[in-house]
Amino acid sequence: MPKVDNSKGFTLIELIVLIAILGILSAIAVPRFSGVIERAHISADQTKLRTLNSVTSIARIAMDSDDPFIDVNKSDEELISFLQERDYLDGQFKAQTEDADFVWSFDDERWYLIFESLYYAISLNDGLEMQANRDGWLIGSYTGSAKDIFVPNSLDGQVIKHIGNAAFEDKYITSITFPSNSGVTNIGTSAFRLEAVEGGFTQIEFPKSLENIDNYAFRNNMDLDRIVIGDNVNIGEDVFHRDNSFRDVYENNDKSAGTYIYEDGNWIKQ
């Protein structure tokens, strides 16, 4: 008598459900796994960076000819090749992180790990959350409690160029100071916007490097009555107070640098 096979395979519906579940699991797992790999690559590259700076110092001390590390015409690739040819580095030395490079600073005389598209974030003791890529540093957010903010020119040899969207929103900052050599070019949307209309800035002196102030950057800072600004700054919508009155006056003055004050409900240039 033939045996009866009571086993049965998956139905079509069960297979579809299984495939859907596997798809969901892979969608969750792959990005997390990719993030782990990315962090591992960054960590490895930071170790390489320390090695690179160490061997460069040793090579320069032992140098018996012209120092290529002061020749501004030398590319980063040429400088690394110089070290490889003298067996300070192996022939495969390069950054593991995607879109990252080791860049020599002729000003600081040291190497930096610079990211092309990936932003590398660090937290400073004063509460500034910084992000960087090849274009420079961006202030991403602020977790501190101080109301008087100083924005330095640079960090680790890279210029601070941007104040990010909503970076200081509802922090009720009362003053911000930029050094004379500041490189800040852009202040993002709602960067210093307030929910309430009390408190905040009474005056601001922008750096000469500033090129753009995005929408609502200082909205509801209603006590603001003095602004020092440079030439040809692009100003978005409702940047100051709750309207475009400052922008209108600034543009009527051909976007010219100077001190603008708020008197009797109107902005005027001094």
Do 142 and 127 meet the contact criterion of CB atoms below 8 Å apart? yes
Q: How far is CA 44 from CA 37, 51, 95, 133, 223, in A?
A: 10, 11, 8, 18, 49
Measure CA 181 to chain center. 19
List Cβ neighbours of 89 (8 Å cut-off, separation of 6 or more).
52, 55, 80, 83
Q: What is the pLDDT of residue 23?
A: 73
CA distance 230 to 253: 12
Give the HSE-up count for residue 99: Cα atoms under 13 Å, Cβ half-sphere.
Answer: 10
CA–CA distance, 249 with 268 (Å, rounded to integer): 7
The tokens for 124 are 């400073």
pTM across the whole model = 0.59
* One-letter amino acid for residue 117 of the chain: S
Q: Checking DSSP bridges between strand 258-263 and strand 226-229, what pairing results, if any?
A: antiparallel
12: tokens are 């079509």
Task: Let me know the angle formed at the C-alpha of 96 by 141 and 24, rounded to the nearest 5 degrees.
Answer: 70
Give the DSSP H/E element, type plus range, for residue 227: strand 226-229
According to DSSP, the residues that pair with 201 across neighbouring strands are none
Query: Are residues 259 and 205 in contact, defined by beta-carbon separation less than 8 angstroms?
Result: no
Q: Enumerate residue ranges in the chain where pLDDT < 50.
A: 4, 30-34, 118
